[in-house]
Amino acid sequence: MDTGSPNTMNAGQQHVLERPGGLRVEITDLGASWVSCKVPLRDGTQREALLGYEHLDRYLGGEGCFGATVGRYANRIGGARYRRQGVDVQLIANQWGNQLHGGPEGFNHRRWQVVRADARAIVLGLHSPDGDQGFPGAVDVRVRYALDSDFSVRIDFEADVSRETPLALTNHALFNLDAEHSDCRGHRLQIAADRYVPVDAQRIPLGTLAPVPADFDFRRAHRIDRDFLASGQQRQADGYDHAFLLDPACRSGERPAAEVESTDGRLQLRLYTDQPALQFYSGNFLEGVSRRGGGTYARYAGLALEPGLPPDSPNHPEWSPWSDCFAQPGAPWRAFLRWEFRSN
> Per-residue pLDDT tens for 136-180?
999 999 999 999 999 999 999 999 999 999 999 999 999 999 999
Query: Using CA atoms, how far apart are residues 274 and 246, in angstroms rounded to an integer?
Result: 10
Residue 198 CB burial class (10 angstroms; 0-12, 13-18, ≥19)? middle
Q: What is the pLDDT of residues 299-313, one digit of tens each?
A: 999 999 999 999 999
Q: How far is CA 303 from CA 21, 55, 129, 148, 150, in A?
A: 26, 21, 32, 23, 23
Q: Is 170 helix (H, G, I), strand (E, B) or coil?
A: strand
**Spans of all domains in the chain:** 14-343
β-sheet bridge partners, residue 343: 267
Is residue 66 scored above 80 in pLDDT?
A: yes
Q: Which fold, 14-343?
A: Beta-galactosidase; Chain A, domain 5 (2.70.98)
User: Considering 101, 172, 181, 316, which one is annotated as catalytic?
Assistant: 172
pLDDT band for position 225 (50/70/90)?
very high
Q: Is 58 helix (H, G, I), strand (E, B) or coil?
A: helix
pLDDT at 4: 52
pLDDT at 11: 78
Q: Beta strands 193-196 and 241-246: pairing type? A: antiparallel
Is residue 228 scored above 50 in pLDDT?
A: yes
Mean pLDDT of the chain: 96
User: Considering 26, 48, 261, 306, which one is annotated as catalytic?
Assistant: 306
Mean pLDDT score, 47-57: 97
pLDDT band for position 2 (50/70/90)?
very low
Query: Using CA atoms, how far apart are residues 260 and 230, in angstroms rounded to an integer?
Result: 21
pLDDT band for position 279 (50/70/90)?
very high
Is residue 71 scored above 80 in pLDDT?
A: yes
Burial 62-76 (b: 16+ CB within 10 A, else e): bebbbbbbbbbbbbb
Is residue 57 scored above 70 in pLDDT?
A: yes
Is residue 258 scored above 80 in pLDDT?
A: yes
Q: What is the pLDDT of residues 86-109, one digit of tens each?
A: 999 999 999 999 999 999 999 999
Residue 124 CB burial class (10 angstroms; 0-12, 13-18, ≥19)? buried
Task: Give the number of other Cβ atoms within 10 Å of residue 12's Cβ.
Answer: 18
Let me know if 306 is a catalytic residue. Answer: yes
pLDDT at 10: 57
Contact 49, 341 (CB under 8 A): yes
Q: Of 1-10, 183-192, 280-289, which range is least confident? A: 1-10
Is residue 22 scored above 80 in pLDDT?
A: yes
Query: Using CA atoms, how far apart are residues 298 and 54, in angstroms rounded to an integer?
Result: 15
Mean pLDDT score, 47-69: 97
pLDDT band for position 9 (50/70/90)?
very low
Q: Is 26 helix (H, G, I), strand (E, B) or coil?
A: strand
pLDDT band for position 8 (50/70/90)?
very low
Q: How far is CA 46 from CA 37, 51, 77, in A?
A: 10, 15, 39
Query: Using CA atoms, how far apart are residues 223 and 190, in angstroms rounded to an integer?
Result: 9
What angle (nearest 5°) sits at the alpha carbon of residue 251, between those of residues 248 and 255?
95
Is residue 3 scored above 90 in pLDDT?
A: no
Contact 188, 51 (CB under 8 A): no
